[in-house]
Amino acid sequence: MSNSSPAGSNVQYSEKLWPSASTWIWPIIISITAGIALAPISSILGWVAGAVVLLSLIAVFLLRTPTIEVTDELVTVGRASIERKYIGEVVGYRGDEAFKQRGQKLHGLAYMLLRGWIDGVVRMEVTDERDTTPYWLTSTRRPEELAAALSGVMYEFTDEGKAEAAKLEQSEDAAGE
C-alpha cells in the first residue's frame, strides 16, 4: 500500500480533515500547564517549556492530519489505500443517519477514520474476497462530493432512505391528526 497517489493519476477528490477550531484549545491548555509546572523553578524555564510544548503539539496536530484522496485507480483514506476496483456500493450520510453509522450500525471489522468534530460520513463497501473488512467508514465535510467521486449516492436517495423518510412522514401525519 502506498501513501501517495501514483504518478500520472487523475485526482478526482481530495480533502484534509483539519482539526476544528475548538480542538486547538487543548494544545494551549497543555502548554500553559507545562509552563505553570516549571515556573516555580524559573519563570524563563516556564515560558520556554510552555512555548516548546505548544509548538510541538501544533506540529503533531498538523502533521497527523489525515487526507482522503480518490484517483482513477486508488482510494486513500488516512494511511490506508485500496484499489478502486475493490470498492462496491458507496453511500454518504449526514445528521442522525451518520450518527447511527458511527454507532448503532457500525460493524466491528470495518476500517474507520472518524473525527468527532465532522458530522458527515461516507461508507464504502469492500468487494475484495481476500479482505475481511466489510467496508470503510470515513468522516468527511463533503460526503456528497466524496460519494459522487466514487459513483455513490447520499442516503436519502437510496431505497432504505426513501422508505425511512416515507415512514417518518406517515408517523408525523398520524400525530398531526
Which range among 45-54, 111-120, 150-159 shows the weakest confidence by mean pLDDT?
150-159
Percent of the chain with pLDDT over 90: 75
What's the chain's average pLDDT?
90
Q: Which of the 8 DSSP states describes residue 123? A: E
Predicted confidence (pLDDT) at residue 3 exceeds the cutoff of 60: no
For residue 161 the three cell numbers come to 432512505
pLDDT in tens, 126-160: 999 999 999 999 999 999 999 999 999 998 888 88
For the residues of 53-122, what is the DSSP string, one character each? HHHHHHHHHHHT--EEEE-SSEEEETTEEEEGGGEEEEEEE-HHHHHHHHTTT--TT-EEE--TT---EE
- Return the C-alpha cell found at 129: 474476497
Per-residue pLDDT band at 167 (split at 50, 70, 90): confident
| The predicted structure's pLDDT at residue 1 | 45
Please compute the mean of the pLDDT values over residues 44-55 and round it to a whole number.
96
Angle 133-138-139 from CA coordinates, rounded to 5°: 160
C-alpha cell belonging to residue 27: 494544545
Residue 56's nearest CA partner among 24, 88, 31 is 31
List the single range of 86-90, 102-106, 141-145, 162-166 with lowest mean pLDDT.
162-166
Question: Which pLDDT tens digit goes with each residue over 19-38?
Answer: 988 889 999 999 999 999 99
Which value, to the nearest 10 degrees, does the dihedral of the CA atoms of residues 135, 139, 145, 150 take? Answer: -20
- The pairing of strands 87-93 and 111-113 is unpaired
